[in-house]
């Protein structure tokens, strides 16, 4: 008996996704309309573009949900996607930098269509590592973490997950795109930890990352940001560190964004100034519609409004984690954990950056920030999870039916 997947759709994931997408469109209009009017443009232009990406995203969700997971795991398909990603990352070096990083490919008249390859790499690396590690489960059960690193990678460099993952990480870092490189690196850590190795290794890796970050920040603080700024390629990153240590020392230059982010959140208080009534988005806070969009959310909707959006995101992430926990197929489980990690890491880095807990790294806030590439990546990730959940349910139901008939 064949069970149609349309009856197995997980609404506890789809409905929060839809609500967050609609809230995102409202906030994109709120954060971009004033900027467009100042430029003499159409106040709806950016929200129309965002809406177009959302419609495209819904199309991808429908198609991916209807696909067989066996098709999505074809080696040739994964190789083609990896090669296409390499080509896009290399091509982005030949386009003008945005905020100091060569992270965009501009197409169409006036560069109206912008592709951000590093955004898509977040999901691609999850897909790739989930497929690789799922094929190594027998070895992982026997050898633990050693199964992931045993053998020399030199003879099989192009087929070794370490080489491929680190090569992609290096490509993104060389743009230089510190924010997305950090997210991709942390996603790799989560995927390794979810591969089936002992839980103690996850604690060891996290402790190492925290210690490394502390040593790095302490070293920069002792040596001085001016010295770090002399390192080729990383001058703009040094300015972010300068703002992190004290944004008010240079509140008109390096500390401009963080200082005004503080002002925006302070203006919002508990209940906010009201939707559309932000002061900081009117030319005071740069990137108010992208990296610092959540600061404007708090300014307009208050701490309570921002908390509700965060709560909805946390609920969505937890529901995705539940899919990963319940999945019996290793690939399915790791894909779900990877998508949940992608969302959680991005939220932590963005909120940490706009609040000064960690250095700002130019990372957008999921759903809320203007950015079609980010929305499309998240949507495809959601589509994978919905497909995985439906397939897992269908297998269980079919087994139950067979037992009943027997």
pLDDT at 38: 78
Task: Give the pLDDT band (50/70/90) at residue 64.
Answer: very high
pLDDT beyond 60 at 234: no
- pLDDT for the residue 215: 78
Q: What is the mean pLDDT of residues 349-376?
A: 86
Indicate if the pLDDT at residue 19 is higher than 70: yes
pLDDT band for position 148 (50/70/90)?
confident
Q: Please state whether the predicted TM-score (pTM) of the whole model is above 0.85.
A: yes
- C-beta of residue 44 within 8 angstroms of C-beta of residue 33: yes
Task: Specify burial of residue 40 (Cβ count, 10 A radius: 0-12, 13-18, 19+).
Answer: exposed
Q: Which of 139-153, 220-234, 325-339, 392-406 has the lowest mean pLDDT?
A: 220-234
Taking residues 183-201, report their average pLDDT.
86
Q: What is the pLDDT of residue 254?
A: 63
Reported confidence tier of residue 114, pLDDT bands at 50, 70, 90: confident
Predicted confidence (pLDDT) at residue 86 exceeds the cutoff of 70: yes
Which pLDDT band, with edges at 50, 70 and 90, does 129 fall under? very high
Q: What is the pLDDT of residue 74?
A: 87
Kindly tell me if the per-residue pLDDT of 224 is higher than 80.
no
pLDDT band at 280 (very low <50, low <70, confident <90, very high): confident
* Tokens coding 274: 């009201």
Mean pLDDT of 90-116: 77
Percent share of the chain, pLDDT over 90: 37
pLDDT surpasses 70 at 196: yes
Section 17-43 average pLDDT = 89
pLDDT of res. 109: 65
Q: How far apart are CA 86 and CA 353, in angstroms?
A: 28
For the cut 60, the answer to whether the pLDDT of residue 232 exceeds it is no
pLDDT tens-digit map of 295-327: 999 999 999 999 999 999 999 999 999 999 999
Q: Which of 194-208, 228-242, 334-348 has the highest mean pLDDT?
A: 334-348
Return d(Cα 19, Cα 366) in angstroms, integer. Answer: 13
Q: Which of residues 110 and 300 earns the better pLDDT score? A: 300
Residue 161: closest CA among 131, 187, 198: 131
Percent of the chain predicted with pLDDT > 70: 86
Write the pLDDT tens digit of every residue in 255-265. 678 888 888 89
Looking at residue 386, what is its pLDDT? Answer: 96
Give the per-residue pLDDT at 158: 59
Mean pLDDT (the chain, rounded): 84
Domain extents for the chain? 1-31+255-370
Using the predicted structure, report yes or no on whether residue 124 has a pLDDT greater than 80.
yes
pLDDT of residue 204: 79
- Cα–Cα dist 314/347, whole Å: 10
> Residue 239's pLDDT is what?
61
């Amino acid at each position: 008996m064949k069970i149609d997947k349309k009856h197995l759709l997980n609404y506890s994931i789809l409905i929060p996704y839809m609500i967050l997408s609609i809230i995102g469109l409202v906030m994109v209009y709120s954060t971009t309309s004033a900027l467009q009017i100042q430029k003499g443009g159409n106040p709806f232009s950016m929200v129309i573009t965002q809406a177009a990406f959302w419609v495209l995203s819904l199309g991808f969700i429908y198609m991916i949900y209807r696909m067989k997971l066996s098709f999505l795991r074809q080696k040739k398909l994964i190789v083609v996607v990896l090669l296409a990603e390499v080509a896009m990352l290399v091509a982005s070096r030949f386009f003008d930098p945005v905020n100091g990083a060569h992270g965009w490919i501009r197409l169409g008249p006036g560069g109206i269509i912008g592709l951000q390859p590093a955004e898509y790499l977040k999901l691609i690396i999850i897909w790739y590592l989930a497929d690789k590690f799922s094929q190594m489960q027998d070895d992982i059960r026997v050898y633990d973490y050693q199964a992931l690193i045993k053998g020399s990678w030199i003879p099989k460099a192009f087929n070794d997950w370490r080489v491929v993952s680190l090569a992609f990480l290096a490509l993104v870092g060389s743009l230089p795109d510190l924010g997305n490189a950090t997210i991709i690196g942390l996603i790799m850590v989560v995927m390794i930890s979810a591969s089936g190795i002992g839980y103690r290794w996850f604690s060891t890796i996290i402790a190492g990352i925290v210690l490394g970050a502390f040593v790095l920040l302490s070293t920069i603080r002792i040596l001085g940001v001016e010295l770090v700024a002399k390192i080729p390629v990383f001058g703009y990153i040094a300015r972010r560190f300068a703002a992190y240590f004290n944004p008010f020392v240079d509140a008109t230059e390096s500390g401009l964004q963080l200082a005004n982010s503080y002002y925006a959140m302070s203006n919002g208080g508990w209940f906010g100034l009201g939707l559309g009534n932000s002061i900081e988005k009117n030319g005071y806070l740069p990137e108010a519609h992208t990296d610092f969009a959540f600061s404007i959310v708090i300014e307009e909707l208050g701490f309570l409004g921002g908390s509700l959006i965060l709560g909805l995101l946390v609920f969505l992430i937890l529901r995705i984690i539940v899919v990963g926990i319940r999945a019996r197929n290793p690939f399915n489980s790791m894909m779900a954990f990877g998508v949940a990690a992608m969302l959680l890491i991005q939220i932590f880095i963005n909120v940490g950056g706009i609040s000064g807990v960690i250095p700002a790294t130019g990372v957008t806030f999921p759903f809320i920030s203007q950015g079609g590439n980010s929305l499309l990546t998240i949507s495809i990730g959601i589509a994978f999870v919905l497909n995985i959940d439906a397939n897992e349910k269908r297998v269980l139901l079919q087994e139950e039916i067979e037992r009943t008939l027997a």
